[in-house]
Each structure stands twice: as C-alpha cells, then as structure tokens.
C-alpha cells in the first residue's frame, strides 16, 4: 500500500507527490520485477525523502539520501530536469564528472557490453523482465555477439592470488558495470537481477538497427519458442537437448547454410600434399559465416591425415585402406538419414557442462541438433550414429579435444600434451580435431602455443580449430554436427559401406580405449623414442610398426654391426622415408652408439 506520509520540508512537497504518483503507478501495474522486496525498498526511500529537513533541488542532493540507488536516480531524472537550474547537476549523479554534452553511449559492435545489452533486449521482448548473472552470461555467450569470452575464468585473477595482476582481475563481465553506470541496465535484489531500462531498450534497438539485425530479432525469438527441446530418460545418459530434425533452420539464407556445410565437408575429405598451403577457417560475424583464410588445399576423394612432409609420398603406398572414413552398416535401398540420427557426445568431465547447461540447450535449439553427456575414455567429444529402430550406436570417424590456451600451455610444460595426442591417435578414429580456445597472445608462452598448434596440424595431421571462447566453441560444435551429418548423407550407400569398412559400436570403442590405456612394453618404448630430438608421434608409431620393443631394434642394429652408415640410415630405409634421415640417425645414437 502506498504511504500517505507528508514531507517535513515544504519545498520537497513536489518531489514527494511525484514519487507518490510514480509509486502508485508501479503498484497498480505490478511489472514482473515488482516484488515485495522492491516495495520495501521504495517505502524506505520514500520515507527518508519525506523526513529530509532541507530542500532537495538536484540529483546530487537526491543521491545522498539513504536508500536512493541508481534505479531511483533514473526514474526521478525527469522530475529534476524540469526544475530550472537542476539539470546541470545531472552529471554529478554519475560520479561527479562533468557532463560532456548530449552524446549518448553506444556499445561497440561485438563487444561484451553489446552482447549483454542485446541479450537482455531479446529476453525482454519475449516477456522476461530480468535475468540472473549466470543466465545472462550463458545467453550472451550463446548469442555469438561478443568476440571475447564473457564469463570470468575460474581461479584466475583472484585478489591476493600469487602471480595475478590487476589486468587479470577483470573479465568480460566487468563491462556490466559500465552499462549500469550509464543507466542502461538496472541491478536489483539479492541475489542480483539485471533488467533493461527504457534507455537501455532504445540503445539496444539502435544497436540492432545499425547492424541490420532489428528485423530478425523477432524471428530469433519465435524460432527459440517454437523449438521443441523435449526430454529423454535413458540410464546413465544426461540429455541436454532433444529431437533433432535432419535439416536445420539457422535463420539464415539457404545458400549461406550450404556454403558453411560445404566448408566443413571439404575439410573432412581434404588431403594436403607437399607444396600445398594449409587452409584455415574463421568465423566472421560480419560476413555471416565461415570464411577461408589462405590458399585452398587440393581435394581428393578420400580423407587422410596430414603427415610429415618427408613421408607423404610413402604413406600413400601402404595406408590406402586406412584413408577412407568408415561408415555405419546400411542395407540396400536405404538412406542414411532414414536409418540413423547423428548425435554429439560430450564428455561429462567438461567443467562447463554444469554451469552452462542453458547455453548448451540454446545451441541445440538453434542448430536443431542433439547433444548428450556421457563419460568418454578419450577426447572431449565424439559423434555417433544412432539407429532409429534398435538404437545401436556406431562411433563415427570424428573426435574432438578442446584446450583452453592456459590448459594447453600447462600441458606443454609437463609433457601431458604429447601423451594426450598419442592416446587420441591410438583410438583408431581417423579425423582428429583439436580446438584451441582463447587468444594465445593474451597469456604467457604465446610462441610455444602457436608452435604447438602449427606442428599439431602440419606435422601430425590434426585438424586444429581456433575459437575465441566457450560460446564460440559450442557454436563450432553445432556447425560440425550439421556438416558431419550432411557428409554421411551424401557418402553413405550400401556399396560404399562394404568397401569403406564399418564403424565400431560405442561399446566396442569404449573397450578398445580401455585396452589402449593399459601400459605395455611398446608403450614404454614409444615414450622413450619421443624423448629423442626430431622424433614426433608419427615417427615413433612408424618405428613400433617394425620394432615393437627396444630389444628387437637393438637386434636389428646388431646384425649391421661394422657398418655405421647403414645403421644410421636403417630406419629411414625400411620405413620408406616415414622416418626421416635426422630422426633415424638420432634413434641409432640413442639406442646403439
């Protein structure tokens, strides 16, 4: 109930009546953010204004009253602007700084403030008046409107933490403070709720209009409301999205969607030969899709890893049967999309799953894909083809490992980096993707991180993908899922299934990975070989193909005793160049010399 209290100072009667009228309108309309706690705050502020014994003529004086926060300042601004000589103190309510003119604040495109403001606007036009911090971060990151990460990184930049700097203390979320200072966003309640002010709504519409997205804002909302997320109850499986149609409505032009899918399908079936330049891809918001950077690599029918330059020619001679991506079994006259559904499986040890569940659900709804969470023995994500009738699951020839730049730097220092890549190769999955998340230039050891990315892609055959943050990574997963589904639709026939080989079942994949994790004498020998200069994972595996133990290699050198040159070149000779001359010589010196 609105208080009938009167002002102690007669000169404040106009302000008190203005606040009483505003309070009455709020109580009658009762917006979603009008809670009992809100009414309590209004009553406290109103009582303190009534008890104030001196005239209140400026916003600065109004701000000094107990219980008056930024929300009240914004709502009462119109009253004080109507008082002659009071508007010049408007700037004092924003921290005492001198006003710089009538120029309004407009967030830079693709900044964090830009993403937060538009995310709040999109929720508001759906009828959601306020959002909590984590909900807002998830929505902003899932929107893809920010080119940098928004959420604070766990364990980084804590006050008083050894080695943390003032720069590390700030994150993308720090931009919210500026939006609140500018009166575009209100922060109310405890725990905090964030809601868009009328001024913020106008700025958000201005931002959308300038970027050409204003007309599509309603379409985005209707698309999210119409998507049926559904639920699936399966033992030992946590389903974070649901029904996955075979085609996706990405709210973009059909030609752009086809181009995006073609980019990924080409990468999945592209082989680089000596002399070809590597091709990388990036997501460009301004270009509405993925664009190619650098020159184009040559394409052939079958997929293959990019091997060390010295071994490309020889590898094609004895690994041709391994070049073709395996296919799930398919009967005659049946189509892949009629029999199977492509599902992306996330490892349940990914830390963001618990805190970013809503973001994952939005990605699923946007791309019309299905993501499930299970325990994976290797990698951070795989793609499976699930039979629509008997629900048999086949693991497709794609696996992804996600690394934050800080994690990658740490794994390089303690040598976990090489071991993890070797375990990925030993799964038998042919298309291995390595997602590097974040900007390497923003952390220590930038050169070592860039070198690791380069060697991982060029020398070891991994498909290295670069993303700006977690939201960008999840969108990349969405694009990849669509592209992989399209690839199998185009290439799966009963005849090709017979020649390409059959994908392993999910249970078989788990069992094989468990066997891979068991340490053998060959594993120890491989680890020893990788300590030799110039010996990469591929070279170590090639040596193991001929000599699985140190003892067997020593016997081979013993048979060539007396001919040092032949011993130095022996591994290069029998591997037909897979083991280069320098590595062959170094291994000989390590084992025998």
Task: Give all strands of the β-sheet with 431-437 in edge-to-edge order.
Answer: 238-239, 371-374, 340-347, 381-387, 393-404, 431-437, 463-467
pLDDT value, residue 215: 54
Topology of domain 305-318+326-511 in CATH is Rossmann fold (3.40.50)
SS3 string, 467-486, reads ECCHHHHHHHHHHHHHHHHH
What global pTM score does this model have? 0.51
Q: How far, in Å, are 133, 185, 373, 395, 401 from residue 340 at the CA level? A: 39, 47, 19, 12, 24
Topology of domain 10-94 in CATH is DNA polymerase; domain 1 (1.10.150)
Q: Which helix (H) or strand (E) holds 16?
A: helix 13-29
Q: Do domains 112-226 and 519-591 have the same CATH topology?
A: no
pLDDT value, residue 31: 75
3-state secondary structure of 465: strand
Q: Which CATH number fits domain 112-226: 3.40.47.10, 1.20.120.80, 3.30.565.10, 1.10.10.10?
A: 1.10.10.10
pLDDT value, residue 305: 34
Examine residue 206 and say whether the peptide bond preceding it is cis (omega within 30 degrees of 0).
Answer: no
CA–CA dist 437, 210 (Å, integer): 29
CB 69 within 8 A of CB 93: no
The residue among 254, 258, 474, 435 whose CA lies nearest residue 357 is 474
pLDDT value, residue 70: 78
pLDDT value, residue 35: 78
- Which DSSP string do the residues of 538-558 spell out, in sequence order? HHHHHHHHH-SSHHHHHHHHH
pLDDT value, residue 399: 96
CB 581 within 8 A of CB 308: no
**Which phi and psi (to 5°) does residue 284 adopt?**
-120, 110
For the chain, residues with pLDDT lower than 50 are 87-102, 155, 157-167, 220-322
Q: How far, in Å, are 148, 346, 416, 450 from residue 445 at the CA level? A: 20, 29, 16, 9
- Which DSSP string do the residues of 262-285 spell out, in sequence order? HHHHHHHTB---TTPPP-EEEEEG
Domain boundaries, the chain: 10-94, 112-226, 305-318+326-511, 519-591
Say how many Å lie between the first and final Cα of the chain, rounded. Answer: 94
CATH class, range 519-591: mainly alpha
> What's the alpha-carbon Rg for the chain, to the nearest Å?
31
pLDDT value, residue 482: 94
């Amino acid at each position: 109930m609105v208080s009938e209290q009167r002002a102690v100072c007669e000169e404040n009667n106009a302000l008190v009546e203005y606040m009483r009228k505003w309070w009455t309108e709020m109580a009658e309309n009762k917006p979603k953010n009008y809670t009992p706690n809100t009414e309590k705050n209004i009553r406290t502020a109103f009582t303190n204004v009534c008890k104030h014994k001196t005239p209140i003529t400026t916003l600065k004086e109004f701000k000094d009253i107990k219980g008056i926060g930024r929300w009240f300042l914004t709502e009462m601004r119109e009253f004080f602007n109507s008082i002659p000589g009071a508007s010049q103190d408007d700037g004092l309510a924003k921290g005492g700084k001198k006003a710089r003119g009538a120029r309004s604040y407009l967030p830079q495109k693709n900044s964090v403030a830009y993403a937060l403001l538009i995310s709040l606007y999109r929720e508001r036009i759906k009828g959601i008046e306020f959002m909590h911090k984590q909900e807002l971060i998830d929505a902003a990151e899932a929107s893809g409107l920010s080119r940098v990460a928004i959420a604070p990184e766990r364990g980084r930049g804590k006050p008083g933490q050894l080695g943390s700097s003032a720069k590390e203390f700030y994150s993308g979320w720090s931009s919210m403070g500026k939006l609140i200072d500018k009166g575009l966003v209100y922060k109310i309640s405890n725990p905090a709720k964030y809601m868009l002010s009328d001024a913020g709504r106008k700025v958000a519409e201005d931002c959308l209009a300038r970027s050409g997205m204003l007309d599509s804002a309603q379409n985005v909302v209707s698309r999210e409301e119409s998507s049926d997320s559904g639920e699936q109850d399966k033992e030992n499986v946590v389903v974070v999205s649901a029904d996955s149609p075979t085609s996706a409505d990405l709210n973009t032009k059909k030609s752009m969607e086809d181009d995006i899918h073609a980019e990924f399908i080409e990468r999945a079936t592209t082989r680089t030969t000596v002399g070809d330049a590597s091709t990388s891809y990036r997501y460009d918001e301004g270009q509405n899709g993925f664009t190619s950077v650098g020159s184009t690599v040559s394409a052939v029918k079958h997929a293959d890893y990019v091997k060390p330059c010295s071994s490309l020619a020889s590898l094609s001679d004895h690994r041709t049967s391994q070049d073709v991506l395996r296919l799930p079994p398919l009967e005659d006259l049946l189509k892949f999309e009629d029999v199977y559904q492509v599902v992306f499986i996330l490892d349940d040890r990914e830390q963001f799953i618990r805190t970013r569940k809503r973001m994952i659900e939005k990605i699923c709804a946007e791309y019309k894909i299905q993501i499930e969470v299970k325990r994976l023995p290797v990698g951070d994500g795989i793609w499976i083809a699930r039979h629509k009738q008997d629900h048999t699951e086949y693991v497709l020839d794609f696996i992804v490992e996600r690394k934050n730049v800080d994690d990658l730097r740490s794994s390089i220092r303690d040598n976990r980096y090489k071991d993890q890549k070797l375990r990925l190769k030993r799964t038998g999955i042919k298309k291995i993707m390595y997602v590097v998340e974040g900007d390497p230039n923003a952390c220590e050891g930038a050169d070592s991180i860039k070198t690791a990315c380069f060697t991982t892609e060029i020398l070891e055959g991994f498909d290295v993908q670069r993303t700006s943050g977690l939201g960008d990574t999840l969108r990349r997963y969405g694009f990849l899922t669509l592209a992989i589904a399209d690839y199998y639709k185009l290439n799966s026939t009963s005849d090709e299934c017979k020649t390409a080989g059959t994908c392993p079942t999910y249970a078989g994949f788990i069992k094989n990975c468990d066997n891979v994790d068991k340490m053998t004498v060959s594993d120890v020998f491989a680890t020893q070989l990788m300590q030799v200069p110039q010996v990469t994972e591929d070279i170590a595996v090639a040596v193991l193909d001929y000599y699985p133990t140190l003892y067997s290699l020593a016997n081979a050198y013993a048979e060539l005793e007396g001919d040092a040159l032949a011993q130095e070149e022996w591994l290069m000779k029998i591997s037909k160049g897979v083991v280069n001359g320098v590595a062959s010589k170094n291994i000989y010196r390590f084992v025998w010399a």
